[in-house]
Amino acid sequence: MTYPQPPQTQHQPPPPPVPPQNGLGTAGFVLGLVGLLFSFLPVIGVVAWPLVILGLVLGLVGWARADRGRATNKGLAIAGVALSAVGLVVCVLWAAVFTKAASDVSTALDDLDAQANKEAVLVYEITGDVPSASITYSTHGDGGSAMNQEEATTLPWTKELTVKGLFSGGTLSASTGAEGGTVTCRITVDGVEKKTATASGPFSMASCSNF
């Protein structure tokens, strides 16, 4: 008597293991490292901005994949996140420095422009008891320097000048003659005394300068 054979069971081979998805975590580490190195370089470090930002994003995605068991390079992904974060901080600091420098330059240019258009009232005065005095005066500014001489037969003597632009000072001197006496020079700018000097005796000179 023939008995029927039991059906043969076919065993399916197990599916191949899924390879770990380590690419993003590795890419985040590489970009973070390169971006951090570039971030320390002035001017050239501008290229670090996209590197560290992309490295931070890829590092976080790689970290998340490792937490879900889809990647095996969690430590490398965390290192990429850390490097990218440090590089980003350095980039932000450089941006703050450049912004401050640009603001300082702009302020300095504005100040120069204001000085170039500023007017000042310069008053030269000579007083004393001499019968006459030989007077020399000049002003210095962006228009150059001009020297003038006058003979004053009566005192006090006053000369008022309006100067415009980058005014850098002037000189005023008065000399007594052979008969002697006392002579005083005085310089004011916008009503504020800047220099004064007195001389006495024959052929003496009172000089006001370096103000």
Q: Is the pLDDT of residue 28 over 60?
A: yes
Return the half-sphere exposure (C-beta side, CA atoms, 13 A cut-off) of residue 30. 6
191 inside domain:
yes
Residues 97, 148 within the same domain: no
Residue 93: both structure tokens together: 């600091």
Q: Is the pLDDT of residue 99 over 70?
A: yes
Residues 175, 151 within the same domain: yes
* Best CA proximity match to 198, nearest among 209, 188, 187, 208: 208
How many domains are contained in the chain? 2
Beta-ladder partners of 162: 121
Residues 139, 80 within the same domain: no
pTM for the full predicted model:
0.51
Residues 104, 153 within the same domain: no
Contact 81, 63 (CB under 8 A): yes
Please give the DSSP secondary-structure letter assigned to residue 70. S
Integer angstrom CA distances of residue 85 from 45, 48, 110, 187, 206: 15, 12, 38, 62, 69
Residues 161, 89 within the same domain: no
- Local confidence band at 177 (pLDDT 50, 70, 90 cut-offs): confident
Phi, psi of 18 (to 5 degrees): -75, 125
4 inside domain:
no
27 inside domain:
yes
Q: Is the pLDDT of residue 6 over 90?
A: no
161 inside domain:
yes
CATH number at residue 128: 2.60.40
Last residue of a domain, one of 72, 91, 114: 114
Residues 151, 198 within the same domain: yes
Residues 95, 133 within the same domain: no
Higher pLDDT, residue 27 or 108: 27
Residues 78, 137 within the same domain: no
Which structural domain, as residue segments, surrounds residue 203? 119-208
Higher pLDDT, residue 19 or 175: 175
Q: What percent of the chain has pLDDT over 90?
A: 40
Contact 139, 186 (CB under 8 A): no
Vertex 80 angle, CA 22 and 52, to 5° = 120
Q: Is the pLDDT of residue 22 over 70?
A: yes
Residues 99, 123 within the same domain: no
- 53-72 pLDDT, tens digit each: 999 999 999 999 999 988 89
- For residue 87, the surrounding DSSP H or E stretch is helix 74-116
8 inside domain:
no
Last residue of a domain, one of 114, 136, 151: 114
Q: What percent of the chain has pLDDT over 70?
A: 85
9 inside domain:
no
N-term to C-term CA, the chain: 136
pLDDT confidence of residue 162: 83
Residues 150, 193 within the same domain: yes
Residues 67, 39 within the same domain: yes
Residues 194, 140 within the same domain: yes
Residue 65: both structure tokens together: 């994949």
